Structure 1
Amino acid sequence: MRVWPGRPYPQGAMWDGEGVNFALFSENATAVELCLFDHEHQDQESHRIRMEECTDLVWHVYLPEVRPGQLYGYRVHGPYEPQAGHRFNPSKLLIDPYAKALTGVVKWSDAMFGYRIGDPKEDLSFDERNNAGNVPKCVVIDQAFTWGGDQLLNTPWSKTVIYEVHVKGFTMRHPDVPEQLRGTYAGLASPPMIDYLQSLGVTAVELLPIHHFVNDQYLTEKGLTNYWGYNSIGFFAPDIRYSSFPEQGRKVYEFKTMVKTLHSAGIEVILDVVYNHTGEGNHLGPTLCFRGVDNAAYYRLVPHKERYYMDYTGCGNTLNVRHPRTLQLIMDSLRYWVLEMHVDGFRFDLASALARELHDVDRLSAFFDIIHQDPVLSQVKLIAEPWDLGEGGYQVGNFPPGWAEWNGKYRDTIRSYWKGDGGVLGEMAHRLSGSSDLYSASGRQPYASINFVTAHDGFTLHDLVSYNHKHNSANGEDNRDGHDHNLSWNCGVEGPTDDPQINEVREKQKRNFLATLLLSQGVPMISGGDELGRTQQGNNNAYCQDNEVSWFDWTLTKNNQHLLEFTKRLIQLKTNHPVFQRRRFFQGRRIQGSEVKDISWFHADGKEMMDEEWGKGFRSLGLRLSGDAIEEVDAKGCAIYDDTFLLLLNAYHEPISFTLPAHKKGVRWELIFDTSLAECNKRGPLHKGGEEYHLGERTCALLRLMPGGERRG
């Protein structure tokens, strides 16, 4: 086979129409071998090519006879000195950190570890067994794809409604998705799923991790799997397990087709990405990729004890974003998914871990700086999970401009309020109005707050109102995993019940949560299936349940039709009315040309709340959003006007009579919905200002101002 010197950039395997250039960074390696494999014999390489060229710490070679579909991996030579941070072992075939596609999954055996399992010296020992038959092979791909006119949708943040969903779980049991496509990228892009998302009204899907990941050995031994996928090993490769066309590089084509199809339906694609750690675990973990390529460069090691890893993630290791090549890897990966795969944004798992320059979380770290100045990444949606598991890792509200955040304080406050806790009304007002206390000081706007009540991690909405405690025994950890607290009120009855009264109260609580979520200022995120009453039978940590516990039960669309239609209506209210999607924070004052404030807060007696009253333990609240006082303009400079709405909230265990504010002379309030009503999707009667409205216990209602008492569309 002919061998040419090649070039050091770009890293990975790059087909140029004539041959393939291979490039691999390793700062501390003494030699690198490129191993080629035939599809029929993947336990032994057909060619082993020593890479003689090394430029700027990148080893490279060009093979003019290689074509797309070629399988390959690396063997990297260097010191095996764990106490100095080096773990080179050329007996172990390694995955290319820049691989665009992989052939399969890790097959666990003792040969997957760089040390001898069972040796008293543990990882200080050295294992010489060849693991080639157990490692996924990298695949050279042809990047060509007919995108046509497809481009990023750039849906404004203020108009965004996010739907968090798992590729497999969403489609696995849908009766109208062809069986061979269920659980795959193609299944997600199939007409039944596109129709459902469009009918729901969401503008973006946030996909749980689709980067190729490692299924943990301890889970495999229990007969379980890492269903969520927060254990990445390939930051450029779509996971093969979600592909209906896994051969060679076709999974990349399938993923691109999914993105293009969703874009054609007006739906953005946001990826949940895990750059804070990898699937290689702690010092006793396997040697799969980064550890064998250059352990000291890719990982944060304990100073003066380099055998061990800094663990801000709870997963055994933390990527070393202080190293320029590791930072380059992350940036190259992000740009690849935007430029080549056309995704619209990212949600960064445990994002605080990426911001740690030394130990403390630094909002001005190199990671933030380089993204902020990047002409590609600074223009897509960037969402932080603003915490990690290290000291000082909880950073809600502290990320820089350009970033949105999962607002954990929103989740906790809304749950606490509807549970009936006293003393939270002031914070509830902040969360409903966009969390200016968290974001305004840094120059950000309400849409910096990604509002959510539930997410993949924790109870589903149905379980939140149905269980007092977690029921995670199926996870094989004696119910010790997951947080055992429920910040919702669930009638004191655990789990399913035949009591119709209790079930109706639970349904009302679901409606309360959804109404609060979708009518708050900021960007709502719905946990996929909550609109259907999806349950995990009380499991609040279903990360390892790749089965009916996690998969959508689509028969719920018939059994929970009222809840589904109510959710659709709420999303329509959110997206059709600018007053619910403000781009600026409220001022709490009268706007020029208007007789009323842009936002007003009311007691049940119809009088405005006084500053000193917020901490008095009230559990009911009225919120008026004045559509004639929106201090914004559209793209052409025209003033934006809307209807005026009144949102009434009562978390108390008894009903109250709420006096409706007059607002203006001669107007009426039209009931849009009341969550205590079984037919809450139907509009109700008109009410005069000054009249009393009967607001049931643990109920919310929305009314719209009708000038002159006339109904509008």
Structure 2
Amino acid sequence: MTGHIAIAGGRAAPLGATFKGDGVNFAVFSQHAERMVLCLYDSAGVETRIDLPERNGDVWHGYISGLRPGQRYGYRAYGPYAPEEGHRFNPAKLLMDPYAKRLTGHPRWHDALMGYTVGGDDADLVPDPRDSAPHMPRSVVEDPAFSWGRDRPPETRIRQSVIYEAHVRGLTRLHPDVAWPGTFLAMSSDPMLDYLTDLGITAIELLPAQAFLTDRFLHEKGLTNYWGYQTLGFFAPEPRYLARGEISEFQQMVARFHSAGIEVLMDVVYNHTCEGNELGPTLSFRGLDNAAYYRLMPDNPRLYVDDTGCGNTVNVDHPMVLRMIMDSLRYWVEVMHVDGFRFDLCSTLGRRGEGGFDQGAAFFDAIRQDPVLGQVKLIAEPWDIGPGGYQLGAFPPPFLEWNDKYRDTVRGFWRGDAGQAPGLADRLTGSALQFDHSGRPATSSVNLITAHDGFTLHDVVSYARKHNEANGEENADGHGENYSDNMGVEGGTDDPEILEARARRKRNMIATLMLSQGTPMLLAGDEMGHSQGGNNNAYAQDNETSWIDWSNPDGALHAFTRAMIRFRRKHPLLRQKLFLHAQERAVDHRADLFWWRADGTAMRPEDWEEPALDAVAMELRMASGTPHYAETEVAIFAVLNRGPATEWKLPEPPDDMFWNWRIDTARPTETPGAVRDAVPIAADCVAVFVLSPDP
């Protein structure tokens, strides 16, 4: 780019690079910078530097006529390099716009990306003078307008939702019938939409799809940050997932999901960035205003507060940083039409200053009052590694929460751990001990047996210990306690008895998931028997370890999962808004919940205290107090038997009704029919009966 470029003052809002029809407005926040330089790049990569001429408060801005979408740019920020005071300005480092809507790629690892001199005697205290531009991607001016046509969000009610957690690349990379495998376009291809709609899921939850970085230590091992929990840009789609480099590909994906009645949820990481600790790279936020964007140690601002385990913590207390997060969320809803978010390490976002977790933290107040974000689904991962970081059940409505207690209790019960039956009863009825407060609905618990972080369902029943050697950390990474069981052989086997035991336990856990009050989440691939070879931390495995193998699916497991999703959808008793507390109902003066023993008598308090209790039987009705309920079914009776085969006396039905035996995981392809009295319950199985006048 040559010649003089005229720049006018422009406007301080909106932040980012905004195409105005006849030019582009640039606006970037920095509270402590002394000078802000815009760097424009022509088609040959030649850089032109232009000082932003205006400062309005802490926003630097300027307007250049004639620039069009596709223009590549970056920033250089001038100010003190004084790590002991929290400042790390270094104009030798090209900085990505935090509001960039698209990036040309990823940083290429080189010591010049560091703001300090690597290997120096003073560690990070001496600035590095080398230009980082040859190793940095460019921010790109975008016009995000898209022809949405008649696109409408499905607006699926929470109590009707079945979430499917999936990785863009992992789900599609090996699919034989999709174009552009590993991309957003592949995700929304006809074969994928046909598969997901047939399975019955209502929402797909994408692992991080905002631009992210592969850590240097992984790069040097020849590995990749596969999961994506190292955000580089909060507005830009991940470049790896763009087939043609156009952000409209993400919008097209969302529109096609919506046309199929499927919502799109995004896993987002606002608790930390990819710049790491004081020895990390200077790519964007650190170079623009380290002391504003990050929480620094009060007694030593050279160091970062690390409540995330990733080296830094985003300073949500700063109004302009909070504004960036809110602007990002609204952008993905209003411009990209997503239907909700799952917040990684959400406890971090709920800290106020140096104190602990607070339901009234600025982030929660801002998001709950927002007229746009108040209409979408919000899911919290309710923990981090900071002080008081485990906060399951403490998030304000309308947040849902990932429930790890559900995961561990269900796994432990089916493994045969002693004393798990009372906990299982609580999980089956929505984990009321955690969530029944503040007017929260019974759908607040996101029930999961597996997720991206940990064993797959197949590996839960095939491995007693983790096998993470491929991660290059000597198997020291990942969870040590997985509540898993190899059934007698570690890993693969040809033993038919072990294979059948594993298959039944998988069916038992999927049945448990779909029979539980709350919001079920299924990990992509679990329904077809996907294995990671015992790796329970496959964050760096962008290969066949993580990619779903479509060539050899477990058809029987897939059919059972599909049937259980349909069973749940058909029976409103399994997906209620109100909690079940064995309260009398006005409609028939019967309690809405019963717990039964095998002999047909009600459970006693001392029964629950028996450590060897290995079966739970519940009879449930529509919850007491449910308004406007047209009773289309009377009751569901379910037995979850981890113990030996036994005869179970069913509750006596009215004279004109029958218990229809609908599910038996010991006989997954049979429907035993109508019964009225005692029935044989097989060992290690789930049996479900529906009370109905139709036999």
Residue 101 (structure 1) aligned with residue 102 (structure 2): yes
Residue in 2 aligned with 1:682?
670
Residue 619 (structure 1) aligned with residue 614 (structure 2): yes
SS in 1 for 2:103: coil
Residue in 2 aligned with 1:414?
410
Identity %: 51
* One of 581, 584, 593 as aligned partner of 1:590: 584
Residue in 1 aligned with 2:510?
514
Residue in 2 aligned with 1:289?
284
Residue 569 of structure 1 contacts residue 681 of structure 1 at CA under 8 Å; is this kept in 2? Answer: no
Residue 467 of structure 1 contacts residue 486 of structure 1 at CA under 8 Å; is this kept in 2? Answer: no
Distance 1:608 1:210 in 2: 50
Residue in 2 aligned with 1:579?
573
Residue 632 (structure 1) aligned with residue 626 (structure 2): yes
Residue in 2 aligned with 1:704?
690
* One of 11, 19, 22 as aligned partner of 2:26: 22
Residue in 2 aligned with 1:389?
385
Residue in 1 aligned with 2:646?
656
The answer to which of 484-493 and 138-147 deviates more is 484-493
Q: State the shift of 1:3 in Å.
A: 1.1
1:279-678 → structure 2 map (5 Å cutoff):
279-357=274-352, 358-557=354-553, 560-594=554-588, 596-617=590-611, 618-626=613-621, 631-633=625-627, 637=628, 639-652=630-643, 654-677=644-667
Q: State the shift of 1:421 in Å.
A: 1.6
Residue in 1 aligned with 2:116?
115
Structure 1, residues 599-650: CA drift from partner, whole Å, max 9, x if none?
11111111111234222221111111236x77434xxx46343252211111
Structure 1, residues 266-301: CA drift from partner, whole Å, max 9, x if none?
000000000000000000000000000000000000
Alpha carbon RMSD of aligned pairs, Å?
A: 1.3
Distance 1:238 1:681 in 2: 43
Amino acid at match of 1:453: I
Q: State the shift of 1:40 in Å.
A: 3.0
Distance 1:235 1:315 in 2: 17
Structure 1, residues 555-598: CA drift from partner, whole Å, max 9, x if none?
233xx111101101110111121111101111313312325322
Which runs of structure 1 show a deviation greater than 4 angstroms over 4 or more consecutive aligned residues? none
Distance 2:383 2:629 in 1: 40
Distance 1:193 1:25 in 2: 41
TM norm structure 1: 0.95
SS in 1 for 2:152: coil
Residue in 1 aligned with 2:66?
65
Amino acid at match of 2:138: K
SS in 2 for 1:212: coil
Q: State the shift of 1:687 in Å.
A: 1.7
Structure 1, residues 82-121: CA drift from partner, whole Å, max 9, x if none?
0000000000000000000000111000100011111111
Kindly tell me the number of residue pairs found equivalent between the two proteins: 689
Distance 1:688 1:641 in 2: 20
Residue 674 of structure 1 contacts residue 701 of structure 1 at CA under 8 Å; is this kept in 2? Answer: yes
Residue 695 (structure 1) aligned with residue 681 (structure 2): yes
Distance 2:390 2:316 in 1: 19
SS in 2 for 1:297: helix
Amino acid at match of 1:695: I
Q: State the shift of 1:149 in Å.
A: 2.1
Structure 1, residues 657-692: CA drift from partner, whole Å, max 9, x if none?
211111323533222121112xx1331132223x2x
Q: State the shift of 1:415 in Å.
A: 1.1
SS in 2 for 1:593: coil
Q: State the shift of 1:74 in Å.
A: 0.2
Residue in 2 aligned with 1:175?
176
Structure 1, residues 444-466: CA drift from partner, whole Å, max 9, x if none?
01111100000000000000000
Residue 630 of structure 1 contacts residue 640 of structure 1 at CA under 8 Å; is this kept in 2? Answer: no
Residue in 2 aligned with 1:223?
222
Q: Where does the alignment leave 5 or more consecutive residues of structure 2 unmatched?
A: none
Residue in 2 aligned with 1:190?
189
Q: Where does the alignment leave 5 or more consecutive residues of structure 1 unmatched?
A: none
Residue 209 of structure 1 contacts residue 271 of structure 1 at CA under 8 Å; is this kept in 2? Answer: yes
Amino acid at match of 1:133: P
Q: State the shift of 1:54 in Å.
A: 0.3
Distance 2:629 2:546 in 1: 47
Structure 1, residues 127-151: CA drift from partner, whole Å, max 9, x if none?
0000101111000011211011213
Amino acid at match of 1:421: D
Distance 1:271 1:353 in 2: 18
Amino acid at match of 1:274: V
Distance 1:577 1:631 in 2: 18
Distance 2:629 2:389 in 1: 43
Residue in 2 aligned with 1:242?
241
Q: State the shift of 1:401 in Å.
A: 1.5
Residue 32 (structure 1) aligned with residue 36 (structure 2): yes
Structure 1, residues 309-331: CA drift from partner, whole Å, max 9, x if none?
00000000000001111110100
Distance 2:653 2:610 in 1: 26
SS in 2 for 1:694: strand
Residue in 2 aligned with 1:276?
271
Distance 2:472 2:690 in 1: 51
Structure 1, residues 472-525: CA drift from partner, whole Å, max 9, x if none?
000001111001223133313200001010010000000010000011001000
Distance 1:666 1:202 in 2: 35
Amino acid at match of 2:85: A
Amino acid at match of 1:86: H
Residue in 1 aligned with 2:86?
85
Distance 1:696 1:486 in 2: 26
Distance 1:361 1:74 in 2: 35
Structure 1, residues 528-563: CA drift from partner, whole Å, max 9, x if none?
100000000000000000000000000233xx1111
Q: State the shift of 1:241 in Å.
A: 0.3
Distance 1:450 1:242 in 2: 27
Residue 302 of structure 1 contacts residue 308 of structure 1 at CA under 8 Å; is this kept in 2? Answer: yes
Distance 1:494 1:254 in 2: 43
Residue in 2 aligned with 1:201?
200
SS in 2 for 1:123: coil
Amino acid at match of 2:90: N
Distance 2:629 2:431 in 1: 27
Amino acid at match of 1:449: S
Distance 1:589 1:422 in 2: 29
